Structure 1
């Protein structure tokens, strides 16, 4: 009999009956690293399965994740960070300097500095953007029964898929030199509107229109707040 290193409970079998901690941790070696990578990519529960489900049935898959089974899909925060990181790597590899916000003639300004931070930290900035879109969705679908945090989980998955869409177009542009990345924005909005509308069981065009409007207003709200904060900082510095 040994004591659990995590909660000090007596362990008689392979796992702690209190917290589930393994009685003996395996050493980290090549086999361990290989197992972890395969676990992340596993088609039944990992990234590939999550992408497949979010492509084919996003609304239903996310509803099931929230209400019934949270083991089949990759955790939403992990998903949005991984997909954002993938886009950042591709973006820097091919030197594609396209971002969510592109403000001309403001070099050296606080607004431009904030815009550059967004383009360098898509994982964090996407979560922030998701917060504002979630506020509008909560307003437009206030009778849906979903709370703000559940809607935020929805957006982590949807925005994560959006970053993968951007990544695919960025790779095509990087390899072919064709300016196709702007098209990804259109595809992203179509996908987002469809996925969000499906999540809320929108059966009429009005439901999808609300999903599109909430998404657009959320992005505009973030842009406006960024501009106001940047201008305010510049004014304070000058005075």
Structure 2
């Protein structure tokens, strides 16, 4: 028989070319449990990744970029999972409605954009990472890291910040205390520290540049969202 993936002839249980099994097992409860265990695996799983990024973010991300890419969860998968956890947390406790509530009949496009950002902050945070990466490229232009490598860094770092926000959303939902502002400060503080640690923990100036890049990235993202809304409104009116 031939492999269903690469069409190579198979004489064993696995394809000698791509490693695809000759026959796939039927998906059942055992398969689902195995996949969950794989995601939460101590080594190369999300819990291990969280621990490593909390304790030593700079070294672990540098190792991922240049030495070993199998120890940590893939960065895009990591930030998607953590953003989903954040979105579920704030939606379950309706925390976003407690801070910003857009009302009105026909909303202008900029307001609609910000309403979407409010409702999908986890995914908007990923887009904001592009702006932060551009500022990091400018501030650390003497380093050898390119834009795409910095985006990998931000996927990991902003993934942890999403978990920090999720934790404080959970605490606020359970206690009723206004804790999300504290979580926001800690989240931004972690991002600044982790980015500075990535570029070298021995220089305090790296942390200042990291915080500046993060802040300017947020401002640039906000301005871009506003301009996009105004441009769309102008195009609709004309």
Q: TM-score, normalised by structure 2?
A: 0.92
* Residues 85, 122 of structure 1: 8 Å contact kept: no
1:39-188 superposed matches below 5 A: 39-97=38-96, 108-188=107-187
How many residue pairs get aligned? The number is 237
Residues 121 and 104 of structure 1, relative CA distance in 2, 3 Å threshold: closer
**1:236: Cα distance to partner?**
4.2
Partner deviation per Cα, 1:165-218 (whole Å, 9 max, x = no partner) = 000000111111100100111101111111001111142211111111011100
* Residues 102, 115 of structure 1: 8 Å contact kept: no
Distance 2:109 2:170 in 1: 31
**1:14: Cα distance to partner?**
2.9
Q: 3-state SS of the aligned residue for 1:3?
A: coil
Q: 3-state SS of the aligned residue for 1:43?
A: coil
Q: 3-state SS of the aligned residue for 1:11?
A: coil
Distance 1:48 1:234 in 2: 45
Partner deviation per Cα, 1:78-123 (whole Å, 9 max, x = no partner) = 1111111111111111110179x96989881211211122233344
Residues 130 and 211 of structure 1, relative CA distance in 2, 3 Å threshold: same
Q: Does 1:19 align with 2:18?
A: yes
Distance 1:137 1:203 in 2: 18
Distance 1:222 1:70 in 2: 30
Distance 2:119 2:101 in 1: 15
* Residues 96, 119 of structure 2: 8 Å contact kept: no
Partner deviation per Cα, 1:26-49 (whole Å, 9 max, x = no partner) = 111111000001101111111100
- The match for 1:230 is 229
Root-mean-square deviation over aligned CA pairs: 2.1
Q: 3-state SS of the aligned residue for 2:96?
A: coil
Q: Which runs of 5+ in 1 are unaligned?
A: none
